[in-house]
Amino acid sequence: MHTLKERALHPLRPNRYQTFDVLKDISFHVGRGEFFGIAGRNGSGKSTLLKCLAGIYGVNEGRIWVDGRLSTFIELGVGFNQDLAARDNVVLNGIMMGLSPRESRRRVDEVIDFAELREFEELKLKNYSSGMHVRLAFSVAIQVDADVLLVDEVLAVGDAAFQQKCFDVFHRMRDEGRTIVFVTHDMGSLNRFCHRALLLERGEMVHLGEPHEVADRYLEINFGRTESAGSAADSGRVGDGDARVVEAWIEDEHGQRPASVAQGQRIALKALVRFSAAVEDPAASLYVLNEDHLAIVVATSAREHEQSGRFAAGEELLLSFSFENVLAPGRYNPLFTLAHRGTGMDLIDRLEGAFSFVVTGPEAMGGAVDLPVEVTISRSQAELPAISRA
Amino acid sequence: MSTETSALEGLAPQAAPFEGLGRPIKGPGALIRDWRRFWHLTYNIARNEFKLKFFGSVLGYVWQVMRPLLLFGVLYVFFVVISHVGRGGKPSEHAYGVQLLGSIVLFTFFAEATGGSVRSVVDRENLVRKIQFPRLVIPLAMVLLSFFNLMMNLVVVLIFALISGVHPMLSWLEVPLILAMLVLFSTGMAMLLSALFVRFRDIQPIWEVVSQIVFYGSPVIIPIQKVRETLIEGHHHDQLLYHLYMLNPLVTVFQQFRHAVVTHATLSAGQALGSWAALLEPLALVLAVFALGFWVFNRSAPFVAENL
């Protein structure tokens, strides 16, 4: 019903409004000086929650309290007008954010200097490059000194150097004891900044606690959904078929079969093999492939269990490959092979794509595995005499 | 109803631990407690719009003054020079050009303030969705912007009046009161239109037509004496239509402006209405429109961001 005509033509048609509860049963408390994260998938209601906190959307039920001056930082450069000079925009933006005109005018110079745009302050915004635009918007936003800041994924913009500047500012604010509520779906920055975090899913609270717990749950929800079924696809199956891997799965420390596993846990990849003919001393191997189809982990029973024994038709065998999970965060596909004794070329069965699992971790460093590396930096004074001698 | 009561019951026992948590966050509204901030916002938005409007063009402010003057020129040539409207040589037609220009300038304010407000809230979606500020600021800034223009145009009217042989009169002191009525009426319409436009997008074309009707339905071109002669004293004799005509608050505003500023020979609003007591009718209408406009805007303000 957006026009009077529709209403006049269909006076009896009821208004087809669909009510949709975006947020349900949300309750949390953020203490003074806390850096609080709100995480969730797209459409989970995290931005709506932030707008409710900011007073931009009204809530139908429930209440929100704030102690201190609140400033919202939902998008960079809200209300910037392309046809006005940077100076005018900065003043107006300050007033919109709650400063008095005098205060706002007094701060213009600070803002322009922080953005390093002194020479361009009288230039209209439409003549600015996008980088200059972002710099100006960001420095406007951080000049509004509030006790409580509501921040929505603004860190996603800008180049690496600018992001670093943002991070520095957030570190500084955190150290100054300001309260920051931060919405994100970047688990790296969640872990880096937040003291505590809240995970939303379909408008409901899923988890409230330590950032790394929230990050793990987030990844679990995010990737768990697309987890493939446990039964093996028979396509591309090679080998003489004297035995078949009938089931394969992953187990965590507690014997559960999760869809995702956290880094640092001990995990076991297991498979059940059923024989349809007698086989003597079979050898089993495991390949763990990453998303680029590179074998990150390869293990075989041929070394330690050369004489694995004789299996008759109908017998079953349980394989278990267990290791400390040092895999980098991402999705992995295990591949099991079973071969006759000997060179390992005489394949009985090969199972790929039975299932995949996700490794969750605080931060993707970029390596294929995250080994516990000890890093030290020290001045190498021992070298100095050697140089002087030469 | 039942969900509401259960929600309240659920909250009641918890109310105590929430004390000392600071101020509650209310959703968005039309107004805020801090009147100074409200004024600063309105003033600065209007100021920036004003800058934007004129800094881009070569002649800048001149255009703003030229627009009513050009309209005046066209109307003057066709109606006064060619059709001899206001050239009967009667004392009430003294300095008819000034009377015409004055009405045009006042009407221009009304048309700009209301027409500019219709889309104002929707066009500032970006602000409404992302910053918490009193929503009423937006239409009021548009009215204020039009008021800046009105002040500039009135200077032109003053100069034109002095050139045309109008002598300064004590009744010029009535002008602020006349303008107050005009501004109040325009603000009421601005609030009403901008709030309705969020839900009904056909308000804009409808209002454009209504503005045109109002232009011809008030003493801009045709002097009120002529309307009176035709509808009351002439053989048409339509008391009701004349009553309706006089109900339009702009008729009172324009006519009293002509009477107070240009010549006492033309009818005052009171004379045109029959008695000064009858002035209560258009005044009541102005207050009613203002109250209705505020009520509608205030009611829709909390949901503007969602309904855009």
In this structure, are residues B208 and B273 in contact, taking their beta carbons and an 8 Å threshold? no
Residues shown for chain B:
308
> Does B308 lie at the interface with A, CB-CB under 8 angstroms?
no
Q: Which residue has the tokens 């490959």?
A: A321
User: Measured between beta carbons, which residues in chain A are less than 8 angstroms from residue B40?
Assistant: 95, 100-101
> Does B165 lie at the interface with A, CB-CB under 8 angstroms?
no
Query: What pLDDT does A383 receive?
Result: 54
User: Measured between beta carbons, which residues in chain B are less than 8 angstroms from residue A83?
Assistant: 52, 55-56
Give the contacts of A125 (CB within 8 A, at least 6 positions apart). A80, A81, A82, A83, A84, A85, A86, A89, A133, A136
Q: Which of B56, B131, B303 sits opposite A72 (nearest CB)?
A: B131
Residue B264, both tokens: 């006492």
Each residue's pLDDT expressed in tens, for chain A with a length of 390 residues: 456 666 666 666 655 566 677 788 888 888 888 889 998 887 888 888 888 888 888 888 888 888 888 887 777 777 788 888 888 888 888 888 778 888 888 888 888 888 888 888 888 888 888 778 878 888 887 777 778 888 887 665 656 666 677 777 877 887 888 888 988 877 777 877 788 999 988 888 888 988 888 887 887 777 654 444 333 444 456 677 788 888 888 888 888 888 788 888 889 999 888 898 888 888 888 989 887 777 888 888 877 766 778 888 888 888 899 998 888 888 888 888 888 876 656 788 888 777 888 888 777 677 878 888 888 888 876 555 555 444
**Cα distance between the two ends of chain B:** 27
Q: Within a 13 Å sphere around the CA of A204, how many CA atoms are in the beta-carbon half?
A: 2
Helices (H), ranges, chain A: 4-9, 46-54, 86-96, 101-114, 130-143, 160-175, 187-193, 211-224, 383-389
Closest CA of chain A from B169, distance in Å: 40
**Rounded Cα–Cα distance for residues A191 and A178 (Å):** 18
> Does B13 lie at the interface with A, CB-CB under 8 angstroms?
no
Q: What is the 3-state secondary structure (H, E, C) of chain B?
A: CHHHHHHHHHHHHHCHHHCCCCEECCCCCCCCCCHHHHHHHHHHHHHHHHHHHHHCCCCCHHHHHHHHHHHHHHHHHHHHHHCCCCCCCCHHHCCHHHHHHHHHHHHHHHHHHHHHHHCHHHHCHHHHHHCCCCCCHHHHHHHHHHHHHHHHHHHHHHHHHHHCCCCCCHHHHHHHHHHHHHHHHHHHHHHHHHHHHHHCCCHHHHHHHHHHHHHHCCCCCCCHHHHHHHHHHCCCCCHHHHHHHHHCHHHHHHHHHHHHHHCCCCCCHHHHHCCHHHHHHHHHHHHHHHHHHHHHHHHHHHHHHHHC
Question: If DSSP codes are grouped into helix, strand and coil, which group holds residue A95?
Answer: helix
- CB contact under 8 Å between B305 and A88, yes or no, is no
**Rounded Cα–Cα distance for residues A45 and A38 (Å):** 10
Q: Which of A68, A79, A88 sits opposite B126 (nearest CB)?
A: A79
Position A154, amino acid: V
Query: What pLDDT does B19 receive?
Result: 62
Residue B139, both tokens: 């239409």
**Cα distance between the two ends of chain A:** 88
Model's pTM, two decimal places?
0.71
Closest CA of chain A from B119, distance in Å: 15
- Cα R_g (chain B), whole angstroms: 23
Q: Which of A52, A54, A78 sits opposite B127 (nearest CB)?
A: A78
Question: If DSSP codes are grouped into helix, strand and coil, which group holds residue A31?
Answer: coil
Distances (CA, A) of B64 to A279, B150, B249: 98, 9, 25
Parallel, antiparallel or unpaired: strands A310-311 and A279-280 = antiparallel
Closest CA of chain A from B51, distance in Å: 8
Q: Which of B25, B40, B306 sits opposite A65 (nearest CB)?
A: B25
In this structure, are residues B272 and B250 in contact, taking their beta carbons and an 8 Å threshold? no
Chain A: residues touching B (Cβ < 8 Å): 1-5, 51-59, 61-68, 70, 72, 74-75, 78-79, 81, 83-84, 88, 91-92, 95-98, 100-101
- CB contact under 8 Å between A97 and B131, yes or no, is yes
- CB contact under 8 Å between B27 and A81, yes or no, is no
Query: What pLDDT does B120 receive?
Result: 92
Closest CA of chain A from B241, distance in Å: 28
- CATH numbers and ranges of domains, chain A: 22-224 (3.40.50.300), 243-360 (2.70.50.60)
> Does B44 lie at the interface with A, CB-CB under 8 angstroms?
yes
Question: b or e along B63-96 (b: 16 or more beta carbons within 10 Å of the residue's beta carbon)?
Answer: ebbebbbebbeebbeebbeeeebbeeeeebbbbb
Nearest to A194, CA basis, from A369, A365, A30: A30
Closest CA of chain B from A69, distance in Å: 10
Bridge partners for A369 per DSSP: A327
- Domain layout of chain B by residue ranges: 34-301
Each residue's pLDDT expressed in tens, for chain B with a length of 308 residues: 333 333 333 343 344 456 667 777 777 777 887 888 899 999 999 988 888 877 666 677 777 788 888 889 998 888 888 888 877 778 888 888 899 999 999 999 999 999 999 999 998 888 888 888 889 999 999 999 999 999 989 999 999 999 988 888 899 999 999 999 999 999 999 999 999 999 888 999 999 999 999 999 899 988 888 888 888 877 667 788 888 889 999 999 999 999 999 988 888 888 888 888 889 999 999 999 999 999 999 998 888 887 77
Nearest to A282, CA basis, from A305, A313, A315, A248: A305
User: Measured between beta carbons, which residues in chain A are less than 8 angstroms from residue B21?
Assistant: 65-67
Residue A281, both tokens: 């001393």
Query: What pLDDT does B294 receive?
Result: 95
Parallel, antiparallel or unpaired: strands A179-184 and A148-152 = parallel
- CB contact under 8 Å between A56 and B130, yes or no, is yes
Question: b or e along A107-131 (b: 16 or more beta carbons within 10 Å of the residue's beta carbon)?
Answer: bbeebbebbebeebbeebbeebeee
User: Measured between beta carbons, which residues in chain A are less than 8 angstroms from residue B7?
Assistant: 61-62
> Does B236 lie at the interface with A, CB-CB under 8 angstroms?
no
Residue A120, both tokens: 């361009």
Residue B241, both tokens: 């239509």
Calculate ∠ Cα B169-B170-B171, nearest 5°.
Answer: 90
Chain B CA closest to residue A151: B130
User: Measured between beta carbons, which residues in chain A are less than 8 angstroms from residue B202?
Assistant: 3-5
Helices (H), ranges, A97-245: 101-114, 130-143, 160-175, 187-193, 211-224
